[in-house]
Structure 1
Amino acid sequence: MPQPAESGRKPQWVKHTVTADEAGRTLQQLLTETLGISGRMIQRLTRSRGVQMNRKPGWLAGKVKAGDLVEVRLVVDEEPGLTPVEMPLSIVAEDEDLLVIDKPPFVLVHPTSPGQDRTLAHGVAWHLQQRGIRARVHPVHRIDRDTSGLVLFARTAHAHHRLDLQLRAGELKREYLALVDGVVTQDRGMIDAPIARDPRNPTLRVTRPNGEPALTRYEVVERYPNATLVRLELETGRTHQIRVHMQHAGHPVLGDRQYGRRRVDLVKRQALHAERLAFTHPATGAPVELRAPLAEDLRAAIEVLKNETARG
């Protein structure tokens, strides 16, 4: 698991010796296909002399030979892009490549309109600034404002690129806990329903046959007389996917004022928590698995449901 990073930011040179199978490719092909470096990052690296071939500045169009030593300076100082704002952060894991935060509810991950200056990304910018690190804030994914739980940030553009590839390939696993309306009878199952914008309200989503493919897996954790605690895993990452899919299945998320409006008296936001992240570390290739305990307001809601069970 990543450990807290040291203050400051040092260049991180990655070394790669060209194999016989890789011989004959251009240096640029090697950087993108083998080392997974984005085109934008390559442009920045060449301007800062951050790509070397056999201890000399590399020529991107040049062909590599077996045994050539390619060195890439992956850490490049960047402007934060956001005004740092001091705020408490519940840091679950951190190293030179990534930062994972347990986000409280009612906080945006990043700005969605001008004037928003107290998002989680602003707090991350402040955290990096306090460590003397000049870096752009790179959220790898996001969760809704009112959803609590784990959010993954990359601390370098290269790490962001590598993690984004995992996200797009479905290799970055995300699991959620949700309190939903009614009793879910099947112990586990899958919801396969395409999602599109709601034609009546473009900020919302609906299931439609011509929408984008969306797949959510679920399993029951605990049942109550009129509600169920379920664990859900996203196979795709559509906007509001869990909330839309659970409404589609007839079990809207409790407290959700946009999809279902069930038990808004019990919890003041949708009862949804990002509990688990699992991915491959972008630098070391080691598996990483992290969890965040259920948020306090959702634990309180469960106690109310249990007391209702006892009275029933």
Structure 2
Amino acid sequence: MQTKKKGLFIEIIIPEKWADMSIETLLKDYWKVPKKLMHEWRMSKDVLVNGLAIPWNTTLPKDAKLLLPVYKSNPTSIEATYMDLSVLYEDDHLLIINKPAGLETHPSKPNQTDTLLNGVAYHLLLEGHDGELRHIHRLDQDTTGAIIFSKHALAGAILQRMLEERRIKRSYKALVHGKVLKKKGTISASIGRDRHHATRRRVSPSGQHAVTHYKVLQYDSKKDLTLIECSLDTGRTHQIRVHLSHLGHPLAGDTLYGGKPIFHRQALHAYQIKLTHPITEEPLVIHAPFIDNKNVFSE
């Protein structure tokens, strides 16, 4: 799919598979654009085809130039803070960052300005972008790896739906205590809050459904640590940490869930994201290299 940023608009060349769709069908049925955003665009008459505002039931001809006012959304309320970011992927629609340890994904209290979202806001401000900014998922403060951010509301809405439909595949590497005997397996155990601890979660029949798949990569007999790969069907808070602790193999360094403090943080890294681009529809496979592998991971 060919796209190009033009001021406050994105220009998309209509591909053959969209020919004979109307603007209404494309936005409402194909992209499932949120009603509020569709209403804004309909009222502003800013959706243009070959430079003209045409009725939304008009058929889109192949190779026509569709202009969408994606950057006319409300400005972000996130305060920009300078950070030295590791950018894994970036285009006009989304940004993928390799998050370091010790950094929250987004503000969790009023006036907080030291999170990754604040750093991304600064990065985009340097590009002249001050529109809607959204983190599509999150990582714990001391977990490293790839996080997706959207640059406009349309990409954000599509990515959020893709995440809910499990069409964004996130893979993690983790070091756990002990020798994991099963080479691969699935942990299906609901997760809820621990009423005895403000931040801790626990396996609970009354909690939220949670499924983690794992595969053993290697075992270090000297350190009694197993390197495993994990993927998630669900995205519950602390899911991998809770599930592996429940399995009897807590993450190394994860003292909250029974790990020994042999590292300065829990040994968990989101090393790969696979998805179909929300706008161009090209397949993306993004790898996040270990940030502090000398201290935590060994490749």
Aligned-partner SS, 1:201: coil
Q: What is aligned with 1:126? A: 122
TM-score norm. by structure 1 comes to 0.84
Q: Distance in 1 between matches of 2:176 and 2:12?
A: 47
Paired residues in the alignment total: 290
* Structure 1 segments (4+ residues) deviating >6 Å: 66-70
Q: What is aligned with 1:178? A: 174
Q: Does 1:42 align with 2:38?
A: yes
Q: What is aligned with 1:300? A: 295
Aligned-partner SS, 1:12: strand
**Percent sequence identity over matched residues?**
33
Equivalent AA in structure 2 for residue 277 of structure 1:
I
Q: Does 1:111 align with 2:107?
A: yes
Q: What is aligned with 1:227? A: 225
8 Å CA contact retained: 1:9, 1:132: no
Evaluate the alpha carbon distance shift between residue 248 and residue 30 of structure 1 in structure 2; reply closer, same or farther with a 3 A threshold: same
Q: What is aligned with 2:70? A: 75
8 Å CA contact retained: 2:8, 2:69: no
Q: 2:235 aligns with which of 234, 237, 241?
A: 237
Q: 1:278 aligns with which of 268, 271, 274?
A: 274
Equivalent AA in structure 2 for residue 263 of structure 1:
K
Structural mapping, 1:195-210, within 5 Å: 195-210=191-206
Residue 202 (structure 1) shift:
4.8
Residue 207 (structure 1) shift:
1.1
Which range is displaced more, 224-233 or 87-96?
Answer: 224-233
8 Å CA contact retained: 2:212, 2:232: yes
Q: Deviation string for 1:162-212 (max 9, x for gaps)?
A: 111110011100001111111101111111111122233353221122322
8 Å CA contact retained: 1:51, 1:70: no
Q: Does 1:248 align with 2:243?
A: no
Q: What is aligned with 1:309? A: none
8 Å CA contact retained: 1:103, 1:151: yes
Residue 227 (structure 1) shift:
1.4
Aligned-partner SS, 2:156: helix
TM-score norm. by structure 2 comes to 0.87
Q: Distance in 2 between matches of 1:161 and 1:131?
A: 22
Q: Does 1:263 align with 2:264?
A: no
Evaluate the alpha carbon distance shift between residue 236 and residue 191 of structure 1 in structure 2; reply closer, same or farther with a 3 A threshold: same
Evaluate the alpha carbon distance shift between residue 9 and residue 229 of structure 1 in structure 2; reply closer, same or farther with a 3 A threshold: farther
What do you get for the CA RMSD once the two structures are aligned? 2.7
Equivalent AA in structure 2 for residue 76 of structure 1:
Y
